[in-house]
Structures are given as C-alpha cells and as structure tokens.
Amino acid sequence: MFHKEGHKIIFISLVVLVASLLLIDYLIDLEWLRKSLMLVLLGFFLLILQFFRNPKRIGQLHDNHVLSPVDGKVVVIEEVFEKEFFNEKRLQVSIFMSPINVHVTRYPVGGKVVFSKYHPGKFLVAWHPKASEENERTTVVVENSIFGNVLHRQIAGALAKRIVNYAKENDTVTQGTDSGFIKFGSRVDVFLPLDSKIKVSLNQKVKGGVSIIAEK
C-alpha cells in the first residue's frame, strides 16, 4: 500500500522507467552495459516505491501513552525551552528518518488540534542543531486529556523539499492516524510535559503509530 502523496510521483516514475528501458534496449548494443543501466533504473524505481509505502499499523491506542509519530531513530532526548508555542521548558524527543524509512507522520496523541502552522525555511541536514528553528517545518499542537498540549514538529532535511501537513485547528484527531508526510529525509520533534516518563533511549529505533515514547 502506498501513501496518496506518492501516487503522482510513482506514476510519473513508472512512465519514465518504461520509456527509458525501451530507449536503452533500442540504442545500446553492449549487453553488459544495457543490463547494468536497466538494473540501475529498476533499483531507483524500487527505492521510490519503498519511500512512499504506507504500512497499516495497529498500535495500542491509549491516552496514557505518547506514540512515536514516525519511523526512525531517536537522536535527541533533552529538556529544552520551547519558544514557539509554550514559552516554557519541555521534554524534547527527536526522531531522525533516513530516506529509506516510512515517512508518514502520525498523531502521537489523540485530542483537539489547537495550533497548526507552516514555516518556510532552509534545508539544513535534519540533525543540524539549528534545523528545528531554521529549516522548513510545520508545528502542530494537540490538546490531550492526560498530557495536556503535546507539540510535534515536522522538519525538512537536506533532501526533503516538501512537507505535507493535514492538521487543521479545531479538528478532533485520533492517535496514530495520518498527520502529514515529509518527502525524502527529515526529522520530527515531540515536546512533552516535564513530568512525562520517557520510554525510549538514544539511538533506539522506533515505529510510527506503534512504539511508545512516553507515558504518564
């Protein structure tokens, strides 16, 4: 199953692939070169399919849990001052996604969307310290009955050139459902209350909509 954000790109890539294979077969006589080029093109197409895959996830939905919004590796767990929405200290958990990870962004908690904003910006590498403030990004805050306001921020990376955000203010959303999509490499930050119990460790691999990153 592929995410709707990839349907157009997959179709165009398929047309280009078929046309390129026919052209290579027609123009190149050297068998080893022809097969090599065909394999490279097929490999590239398979990478595109992998990037836009959207596996169904069945997590244990619970208001006492914060689920990972994305697939990837935990790269930051620290207390920080969040200045866009809270203007106070929060626990930040950041998850880095490589180009081969599933790039669907899911709501870490359920509740009411009270804030949703897009910020144009740079395309620094996603692990850069200033990426969360200077890169293209979106900020979404969901009011949850247990955790209060939980913020998650999609951050574009050096390869990501488009962030898709489905969250609209006053929407009632379900934990684990699609919040958006980031194309080609990125990271997501989650900001939690200071009394949250973090359930992940640095460099741990997590799955969006399944792995529990915090609880109360």
- Residues with active-site annotation: 186
Contact assessment for residue 71 and residue 101, using Cβ atoms and an 8 Å cutoff: yes
Sign of CA dihedral 214, 95, 192, 81: positive
Q: Are strands 104-106 and 111-119 parallel, antiparallel or unpaired?
A: unpaired
Nearest to 104 by CA among 207, 209, 181, 184: 181
HSE, CB side, 13 Å, CA atoms: give it for residue 117: 9
Question: Which residues lie closer than 8 Å to 167 by C-beta, 6 or more apart?
Answer: 107, 113, 116, 138, 140, 142, 173, 179, 180
Sign of CA dihedral 196, 210, 113, 159: positive
* Max intra-chain CA distance, the chain: 67
Q: Which helix (H) or strand (E) holds 74?
A: strand 72-82
